Amino acid sequence: MDKVNKVFGLRLGAAVLLLCVNAAFCFADVPFIGTWKLDEGVFYRFNTDGTGGTAAMAEGPFSNDFSFLVWNGTGDTPGYPRQNTLALVRGEAVSPQIDLYSYSVSGDTIRASKSGGETFVFTRVSGAPAPLRLDNPLIGQWEAKWNGQNHSGALGTWSFWYRGDGSVKTYHHRLHQFENAYLTRGNLLVIIGEWRFHPALPVNTAVFTLKDRNRVSANEASGAVWEYARKEKARWKS
């Protein structure tokens, strides 16, 4: 039985590796998962469901203060910076507070810095890096049409594949295909990554409404409106 398990484990590992190679993208474990000390009497906890909170003690109780995403900056768009990015999102969908930090990891310490602003030094108390396991109504593949002013007609069609690990594959039909990170908090959608979702631009946010299980409408803060239709398999760039 041990020999069978070993062989199965090797085959499973090879299958996962092949999937990562074919996809050209695999979200790594999120380094923030667990409990961290920030200052005396200030502790942060990051959960695998993409939520987090603060407490006065390492044991908690922890409030549900924020949602978060991590983008590892490994896109291939020329000229875009490759920094690791942490986004903390608080507040209501119509007026969220979004803070972006670039971060570096050294053992059990993470330094997270705002551009020209504060720096947090997190020291691990418990937990270990782990993948996100999100559960939200957007998970799956979608075709979306938008009213963005710079593209219309066939160029106004996109494909999105929202995954449970916090990644979203994005294809702007007839143009480019790329990977982003996303989060939802209530009916707020935040996407950060490449092209129009790059953090050097204003953070891309939208309030989404479920029309039914297979249709979603999303209104961006920029004014763009997206109409999503769920697909068993969306179109992707070959």
Q: Is residue 4 part of a domain?
A: no
Q: What is the pLDDT of residues 48-94, one digit of tens each?
A: 999 999 999 999 999 999 999 998 866 556 556 567 889 999 998 88
Q: Do residue 67 and residue 99 come from a single domain?
A: yes
Q: Is residue 52 part of a domain?
A: yes
Q: Do residue 117 and residue 200 come from a single domain?
A: no
Last residue of a domain, one of 77, 102, 126: 126
Q: Do residue 62 and residue 109 come from a single domain?
A: yes
Q: Do residue 190 and residue 212 come from a single domain?
A: yes
What are the residues whose beta carbons fall under 8 Å from the beta carbon of 238, sequence distance 6 or more? none
Q: Do residue 170 and residue 227 come from a single domain?
A: yes
Q: Is residue 7 part of a domain?
A: no
Q: Is residue 133 part of a domain?
A: no
CA 224 to chain centre: 21
Q: Do residue 50 and residue 119 come from a single domain?
A: yes
Q: Is residue 71 part of a domain?
A: yes
Q: Structural domain tally of the chain?
A: 2
- Are 223 and 146 within 8 A, CB to CB? no
Domain that holds residue 57: 34-126
Q: Is residue 24 part of a domain?
A: no
CATH code assigned at 150: 2.40.128
DSSP lists the bridge partners of residue 130 as 30
DSSP 19-74: HHHHHT--PPPBTT-EEEEEETTEEEEE-TTSEEEEESSTT-PPP--EEEEEE---
Q: Is residue 135 part of a domain?
A: no
Q: Is residue 26 part of a domain?
A: no
Q: Do residue 219 and residue 158 come from a single domain?
A: yes
pLDDT at 109: 97
pTM for the full predicted model: 0.84
pLDDT tens for the chain, 238 residues: list them. 444 333 333 333 333 333 333 333 445 799 999 999 998 889 999 999 999 999 999 999 999 999 999 988 665 565 565 678 899 999 988 889 999 998 999 999 999 998 778 899 999 999 999 999 999 999 999 999 987 655 555 567 999 999 999 999 999 888 888 888 999 999 999 999 888 787 777 788 999 999 999 999 999 888 889 999 999 999 999 8
